[in-house]
Amino acid sequence: MSEITERLRKEIDTLDLGYVYEEKACMVKVSKDLRGNFTVIKQEWQECAAPLPNTLKAMIALEAQVRSHSPCDDPDYAKVFDGDIKGELMFAYMDTGSDRGYHVGKFEWHGGDALLVGKMSGVTNAGTHRACEPCDRGGHMEGRLDAVVVEGKFEGGRLLAAYVINYDTNPGKAQDTAFSGALEGVVLLPWRR
């Protein structure tokens, strides 16, 4: 078992749903449009034992503008998160840069009156809405984003969100490209009476 797999196993084993259930929290809807750029930092091929396909790995810089999406973004609270995200993602693709894979990353999100730090992870080049998209959808990534508000309004709160991002691909290599996407989630605010 790899060290990464062992860490995930420990995280799963220590998840206490009772503790999460007992936590008192108020929530705010967050609905954001994302526009930005991926910039390749480095990439390499990793050879796998036949018959498994080789793996293309890439480190990618992420920069994005985050803006409110009406009518779903909470007009009274969520505007403080409009701002910019900067971070780094690691992509791994089967066989070519347009085949299925996964991504993980971390970021800083500078909102108008909030600073968040967080992580994101998900599946790349796969479609999950089978009625309207193919199961192998290049230039498409979906996942989960978790962040903590470390400064400003709502400090101590956390964001749980799902995201979808679309970008251009080039078989055989990672490439610099623009992207657009959507983020839907909730901010759990520190509970106060």
The CATH number assigned to the domain holding 163 equals 2.40.160
Q: Is 13 among the domain residues?
A: no
Q: Is 55 among the domain residues?
A: yes
Instruction: Give tens-digit pLDDT for 126-178.
Output: 888 888 887 888 889 999 999 999 999 899 999 999 999 999 887 778 899 99
Q: Is 161 among the domain residues?
A: yes
Q: Is 9 among the domain residues?
A: no
As for how many domains the chain has, the answer is: 1
- Asked if 45 contacts 54 with a C-beta cutoff of 8 angstroms, the reply is yes
Q: Give the pLDDT confidence score for residue 25 in this predicted structure.
A: 84
Please say if the pLDDT value at position 97 is more than 80: no
Q: Is 95 among the domain residues?
A: yes
Q: Is 77 among the domain residues?
A: yes
Q: Is 36 among the domain residues?
A: yes
Domain that residue 105 falls in: 25-190
3-state secondary structure of 12: helix
Q: Is 7 among the domain residues?
A: no
Give the pLDDT mean for 66-73. Answer: 96
Residues in Cβ contact with 118 at an 8 Å cutoff, skipping those fewer than 6 apart: 106, 107, 109, 145, 146, 147, 148, 159
